[in-house]
């Protein structure tokens, strides 16, 4: 986490399935609202952590299916694996800690004595996680004797029941809560404790995150019965936890506002661009620029000369955009090309979002922005690494002026076509 000079302003720790990701919404609207908020205002000085029950393999699969951001830290397999950055560099210290007092084979021998436990697929198992399915009616009858038999065998484990169907056996020191406590301690040990931490979840395996000292918490509206019951029995008096009235990622945004942890209005809710007061920071400016681009192509803003004129006023007349193909255009030519693309994505699922927006000041009035720009056209998505040079000094009506843009395909994510490529 060398990216941050000091303490993170906010550490946001979120579960994925049914918390950050709403599987009932094919348009991913609440997730895209969160993404725009995070990239425009939090990415620079805060830490994003995903904490999921999924194994690393299934987590990577979800990243291909849904527009989730790249977190700084990824906790997978129900808090048994911690990894850093996009490359998922494992935390070796955590692995060592969990390996004490854990014998996977002995756990398997004991669990095999309970025929109601249906083993999950191999892909769902982990070095420190043994997982099963068991229906709710049978779960309570099994959990207590299973725990006794594992303990009698001298195994130091915990059993977690989630979503009314999944049962995980983990080392006692593992789990989403312990993994988070370990991370916070790690930040404290280097003198950079996050100023605020908020945890976000919807099901049983998330409950222990809410018990970590000092954290705020949100149970999204669609939370599972077992989490709400846990809250009623154990945490009712904790005013740092709310049950959101909004679902999934919208519930997370709601909680940021409720606890006043920072800005809580997504740029997706404050369109249109040119009447937007919130373009004072380079990252906000860029997020809003691409939201205007999306709205233009979806015909959610009217086709108007004024917008084209305004776009030209926030881009330098000699500025160049280098396309991923290597072709160059003047930025103003690209704006002209965009003019004729108005509404070409009307009524489609076309969306644009930015990930990993990193801003470096390269003088008193210039900034270099680097980010991944994603476009989704309804069936597939593609990504280009983009750098933008922004200047604030040039005489324009807006605060910033785009001087130069350069894009490169990130081939591992698929390549878009050149047709109608403008920004
Ligand atoms: C995820 C995992 C599964 C686990 C469940 C509950 O669905 O894929 O293995 O049992 O979360 O923690
Ligand atoms: Mg979940």
Nearest CA to ligand 1 atom 11: 53
- Residues with C-beta less than 6 Å from any ligand 1 atom: 53-54, 58, 78, 120, 124, 131, 162, 166, 168, 205
What distance in Å separates the CA atoms of residue 87 and residue 85, rounded to the nearest whole number?
5
Using 50, 70 and 90 to split pLDDT, how confident is the model at 53? very high
What are the structural domains, with CATH classification, of the chain?
A: 11-90+175-267 (3.40.50.1000), 102-171 (3.90.1070.10), 271-420 (3.10.450.50)
Residue 411: partners with Cβ closer than 8 Å, 6 or more residues away: none
For residue range 76-121, list pLDDT tens digits in order. Answer: 999 999 999 999 999 999 999 999 989 999 999 999 999 999 999 9
Note the pLDDT of residue 412: 73
| Long-range CB contacts (within 8 A, 24+) of 86-93 | 86/356, 88/56
Give residue 18 CA to ligand 2 midpoint distance, Å.
Answer: 5
Hey, is 367 helix, strand or coil? strand
For residue range 365-385, list pLDDT tens digits in order. Answer: 999 999 999 999 888 888 999
Ligand 1 atom at shortest distance from the alpha carbon of 205: 12
Note the pLDDT of residue 138: 96
Note the pLDDT of residue 78: 98
pLDDT higher than threshold 60 for residue 397 = no
Note the pLDDT of residue 417: 66
pLDDT higher than threshold 60 for residue 359 = yes
User: How much of the chain exceeds pLDDT 70, in percent?
Assistant: 95
Q: Are strands 241-243 and 351-361 parallel, antiparallel or unpaired?
A: unpaired
What distance in Å separates the CA atoms of residue 200 and residue 241, rounded to the nearest whole number?
10
What distance in Å separates the CA atoms of residue 8 and residue 47, rounded to the nearest whole number?
6
| Long-range CB contacts (within 8 A, 24+) of 188-196 | 192/1, 192/4, 192/6, 192/7, 192/8, 193/7, 194/7, 194/8, 194/9, 194/10, 194/11, 194/46, 194/47, 195/7, 195/8, 195/9, 195/10, 196/9, 196/10, 196/11, 196/259, 196/261
Residues present in the chain in total: 423
- Give 291's DSSP letter: H
pLDDT higher than threshold 60 for residue 396 = no
CB 35 within 8 A of CB 28: no
For residue range 220-270, list pLDDT tens digits in order. Answer: 999 999 999 999 999 999 999 999 999 999 999 999 999 999 999 999 998
- Within 10 angstroms of residue 154's Cβ, the number of other Cβ atoms is 9
Average pLDDT, stretch 17-37?
98
Least confident of 210-219, 271-280, 320-329: 271-280
Ligand 1 atom at shortest distance from the alpha carbon of 131: 10
């Amino acid at each position: 986490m060398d990216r941050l000079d000091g303490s993170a302003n906010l550490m946001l720790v979120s579960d994925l399935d049914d918390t950050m990701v709403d599987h009932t919404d094919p348009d991913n609207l609440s997730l895209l609202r969160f993404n725009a908020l995070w990239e425009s205002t939090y990415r620079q000085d805060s830490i994003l952590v995903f904490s999921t029950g999924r194994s690393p393999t299934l987590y990577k699969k979800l990243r291909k299916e849904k527009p989730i951001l790249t977190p700084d830290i990824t906790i997978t397999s129900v808090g048994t694996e911690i990894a850093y950055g996009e490359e998922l560099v494992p935390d070796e210290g955590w692995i060592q800690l969990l390996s004490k007092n854990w014998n996977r084979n002995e756990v398997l021998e004991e669990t095999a004595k309970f025929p109601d436990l249906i083993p999950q697929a191999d892909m769902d198992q982990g070095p420190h996680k043994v997982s099963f399915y068991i229906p709710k009616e049978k779960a309570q009858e099994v959990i207590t004797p299973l725990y006794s038999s594992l303990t009698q065998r001298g195994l130091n484990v915990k059993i977690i029941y989630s979503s009314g169907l999944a049962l995980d056996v983990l080392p006692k020191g593992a789990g989403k809560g312990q993994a988070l406590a370990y991370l916070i301690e790690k930040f404290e040990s280097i003198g950079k404790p996050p100023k605020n931490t908020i945890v976000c979840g919807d099901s049983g395996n998330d409950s222990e995150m809410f018990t970590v000292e000092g954290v705020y918490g949100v149970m999204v509206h669609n939370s599972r019965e077992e989490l709400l019951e846990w809250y009623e029995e154990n945490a009712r008096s904790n005013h740092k936890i709310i049950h959101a009235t909004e679902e999934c990622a919208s519930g997370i945004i709601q909680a940021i506002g409720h606890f006043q942890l920072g800005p809580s209005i997504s740029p997706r809710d404050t369109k249109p661009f040119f009447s937007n007061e919130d373009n004072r920071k380079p990252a906000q400016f860029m997020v809003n620029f691409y939201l205007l681009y999306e709205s233009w192509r979806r015909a959610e803003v009217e086709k108007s000369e004024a917008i084209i004129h305004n776009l030209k006023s926030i881009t330098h007349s000699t500025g160049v955009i280098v396309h991923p193909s290597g072709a160059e255009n003047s930025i103003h030519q690209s704006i002209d090309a965009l003019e004729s693309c108005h509404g070409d994505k009307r009524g489609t699922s076309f969306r644009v979002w930015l990930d990993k927006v990193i801003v470096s000041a390269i003088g008193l009035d210039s900034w270099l922005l680097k980010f991944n720009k994603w476009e989704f056209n309804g069936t597939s998505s593609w990504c280009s690494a983009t750098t933008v040079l922004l200047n604030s000094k040039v005489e324009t009506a807006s605060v910033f002026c785009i001087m130069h843009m350069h894009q490169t395909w990130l081939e591992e994510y698929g390549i878009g076509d050149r047709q109608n490529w403008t920004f």
